[in-house]
């Protein structure tokens, strides 16, 4: 006797006892407090065996404010939490009744687990985050007109010719003695929009 429901059917219902990743809609700007609240409720109810990781997907972004370089965590999906869990009546109720949680994502109020490619993309980004340099938050793009604020070309205006997003360095084309000259390796904080 063969079981036809497990013969590679991608849309098969999650079976009891199997963990899947689900996306929760939550109140924006309260992701950390809602995550902690959910973790406390899971522990208090003794349901740890039904839950795995709870993740707020973030990436590190480097910014310069007031001349000081800062690395901040930027939420990739504000207003959402990713939860690895076994879905049953008890866990569904616990999650839904946690303050700040709106609902699971899914059709007609029925939670739908994330697909494999979505999970690997989300978790892959989480793993890369620790290895990579933080991304620099740039407010400039090629062809923007800027004024150089610092260095030997201070006060010159020019057009951005190239932007290196990983290092935050710019090349600006300025006019010196009637000739267009590239000023290379400018830090993004050394220029301002005109």
Residue 126, by phi and psi: left (phi above 0), alpha (psi -120 to 50) or beta? alpha
Handedness of CA 88, 90, 96, 100 (dihedral sign): negative
Which residues, in sequence order, are CB contacts of 6 under 8 Å at separation 6+?
A: 12
Which residues of the chain are modeled with pLDDT < 70?
Answer: 1-17, 64, 67, 107-109, 123-137
Say which residue the tokens 């899914």 belong to. 106
| Per-residue pLDDT, 153 | 86
CA atoms within 13 Å, Cβ hemisphere of 26: 30
Predicted local confidence at residue 72, as pLDDT = 79
Task: Tell me the per-residue pLDDT of 63-72, one tens digit each, with 9 for 90 and over.
Answer: 767 767 777 7
Measured between alpha carbons, how far is 101 from 38 in angstroms, rounded to an integer?
Answer: 9
For position 34, what pLDDT does the model report?
93
Give me the chain's average pLDDT, please: 80
Q: Copy the structure tokens of residue 1.
A: 């006797």
- This prediction has a pTM of 0.57
In order of start, what are the domains of the chain with their CATH numbers? 16-136 (3.30.70.940), 145-193 (2.30.30.30)
126: tokens are 């989480």
């Amino acid at each position: 006797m063969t079981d036809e429901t497990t013969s590679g059917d991608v849309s098969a219902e999650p079976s009891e006892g199997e963990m899947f990743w689900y996306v929760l809609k939550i109140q924006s700007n309260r992701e950390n407090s809602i995550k902690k609240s959910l973790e406390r409720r899971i522990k208090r109810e003794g349901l740890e065996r039904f839950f795995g990781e709870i993740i707020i997907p973030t990436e590190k972004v480097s910014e310069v404010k007031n001349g000081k370089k800062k690395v901040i965590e930027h939420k990739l999906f504000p207003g959402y939490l990713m939860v690895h869990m076994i879905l049953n009546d008890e866990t569904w109720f616990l999650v839904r009744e946690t303050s700040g949680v709106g609902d699971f994502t899914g059709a007609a109020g029925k939670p739908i687990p994330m697909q494999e490619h979505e999970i690997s993309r989300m978790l892959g980004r989480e793993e890369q985050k620790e290895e990579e340099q933080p991304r620099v938050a740039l407010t400039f793009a090629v062809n923007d007109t800027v004024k150089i604020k610092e260095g030997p070309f201070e006060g010159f205006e020019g057009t951005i010719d190239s932007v290196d997003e990983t290092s935050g360095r710019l090349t600006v084309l300025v006019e010196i003695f009637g000739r267009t000259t590239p000023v290379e390796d400018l830090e993004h904080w050394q220029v301002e929009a005109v």
